[in-house]
Amino acid sequence: MKSRRDFLLELGGSAFSLPILSSLTSNDADATIADKQLKVVLVGLGSYAERVATAMKDCKKAKLVGGVTGTPSKIDTWSSKFGVDKANFYSYKDFEKLKDNPDVDAVYITLPNSMHHEYVIRAAKMGKHVICEKPMSVSVKQAEEMIAACKKAGVKLYIGYRMHFEPYTRELIRMRKAGELGKIMHVNAYFGFKSGDPNQWRLKKALAGGGALMDVGIYCINAARYATGEEPVWISAEEAKTDPVKFKEVDETITWQMGFPSGVIASCATTYNFNNFERLYVVGDKGFVELSPAYGYGPIKGRTHKGEMSWDTSKMHQTWQMDGLADCILNGKPDPNVTGEEGLKDMKIIDAIYKSIAAGGKKIML
């Protein structure tokens, strides 16, 4: 006989459906998992790290135990705000001291993009599991080296693709897998915002690697892949640059197409220069899902051919994410589609998009 857990896994296709329906599962054997907690150190205590730390206050299976920072004045605040022992804060120079701290199972890299490569590899060498923010790197080569280093060290590498843990997104994936949308015919994905401070690292190529595409366009790339369940075989792209001064070093607005083996084309766009730009629309021959907003911190909203969607929005995405990843690392649950290999697939697509732009919109085969 199938257990309720089996049933839920079939519904959502992975262990990560469970948080969506958490009220149904409170008596399941999973309750015992709370005995174990994944002890995590955040590396780079900026605004996203602060969001993750806040979300982790509600985690059952993951716990924030420390931080790595180049700004010593943050230690007092972080320690009192998040209840973290001051002894568990390190400088970047002292990063390797984490190796001898048995209270640390995993490090979560929340540094500017171009620093991910170095810190993932240094963490892997210490034998710590690694969670790394998106984009995982600033080049395909770097991504491959990061995966190889984690493999060699026998540690997990996950990318911070939080949407894979978010209920509306999970429902979209479930519906697509269950055939409720029929054959997928088209995907439309866009995400962007108007960037502020012209001096921020996000506009500097050396730290960011690229502009809107690397930062938020990557959500659309990832979404086109989970909306179709396919990997693209070609890319074509163009850039619109309306402010060449502010966006001197990085891309401003990019539109691109991703062609899939089934013949489906995803039409995508991203920007750093205007707001109100956030949607994922997946159309099949039997139905559709439209999420808008689709990638921000929420609440995500959506509708399908059956009507308005209504899913649990009570938790921060990162709470689900960190509990979900803890389950994989501590309890051997199957990896969701957020591994280093998944990050590498997105990096190859980003690379092809930039190549297409450089070649005047030419179709690039993958």
Nearer to ligand NDP by C-beta: 45 or 153? 45
Residue 19 in the binding site for ligand NDP (CB under 6 A):
no
8 Å CB contact between 83 and 76: no
CA dist 80 and 195 (Å) reads 31
Please identify, among the stretches 3-11, 42-50, 82-90, 353-361, the one whose residues bind ligand NDP according to the rule CB under 6 A. Answer: 42-50
- Per the CB < 8 A criterion, the answer to whether 45 and 56 are in contact is no
Q: Which two tokens stand for residue 80?
A: 């009192």
Binding residue (CB under 6 A) for ligand NDP from 63, 128, 134, 225:
134
In terms of CB distance, is 74 or 348 closer to ligand NDP?
74
The binding track of 64-103 with respect to ligand NDP, each residue x by CB under 6 A or -, is: -----xxx--x-----------------------------
195 touches 202 (CB < 8 A): yes
Nearer to ligand NDP, 265 or 344 (CB): 344
Angle at Cα 175 formed by Cα 336 and Cα 214, nearest 5°?
50
Shorter beta-carbon distance to ligand NDP: residue 39 or 117? 117
Using CB under 6 A, pick the residue from 88, 113, 257, 339 that binds ligand NDP.
113
- Tell which residue, 79, 77, 72, 68, has the closest CA to residue 45: 68
Q: In the bound complex, what is the minimum distance in angstroms from residue 309's beta carbon to ligand NDP?
A: 21
Residue with CB nearest ligand NDP? 46
Place of tokens 């690397």: 214
219 is catalytic: yes
Q: How far apart are CA 326 and CA 333, in angstroms?
A: 9
Point out the catalytic residue in the list 61, 63, 128, 134. Answer: 134
Which listed residue (108, 219, 226, 272) is catalytic? 219
Nearest residue (CB) to ligand NDP, 201 versus 234 = 201
162 belongs to the binding site for ligand NDP (CB under 6 A):
yes
SS3 content of the chain, % helix, strand, coil (to 5): 40, 20, 35
CB atoms within 10 A of CB 90: 20
Member of 160, 167, 259, 336 binding ligand NDP (CB under 6 A): 160
Does residue 284 touch ligand NDP according to CB under 6 A? no
Q: Which residues inside 238-277 make contact with ligand NDP, applying CB under 6 A?
A: none
User: Residue 190: which of 90, 101, 268 has the closest Cα?
Assistant: 268
Does residue 112 touch ligand NDP according to CB under 6 A?
Answer: yes
3-class DSSP state of 71: coil
210 touches ligand NDP (CB under 6 A)? no
Q: How many residues does the chain have?
A: 366
**Closest CB to ligand NDP among 120 and 224?**
120
Kindly indicate which of the ranges 32-40, 47-55, 57-65, 121-129 contains the residues binding ligand NDP, using the contact rule CB under 6 A.
Answer: 47-55
196 contacts ligand NDP (rule: CB under 6 A) = no
**Is cis: bond before 336, omega within 30 of 0?**
no
Mind giving me the DSSP string for 162-221? GGGGSHHHHHHHHHHHTTTT-SEEEEEEEEE-----TTSGGG-HHHHSSSHIIIIIHHHH
47 binding ligand NDP? (CB under 6 A): yes
**The pairing of beta strand 184-192 with beta strand 277-284:** antiparallel
8 A C-beta contact, residue 59 and residue 326 = yes
Q: How far is the CB of 250 from ligand NDP (least distance, A)?
A: 13
Distances (CA, A) of 78 to 31, 94, 224: 30, 18, 37
Measured from the CB atom, the residue of 250 and 283 that comes closer to ligand NDP is: 250
Report the nearest approach of ligand NDP to the CB of residue 109 (Å). Answer: 8
Catalytic residues: 134, 219
Which residues sit at the interface with ligand NDP, rule CB under 6 A?
A: 44-49, 69-71, 74, 110-113, 133-134, 160, 162, 201, 207, 215
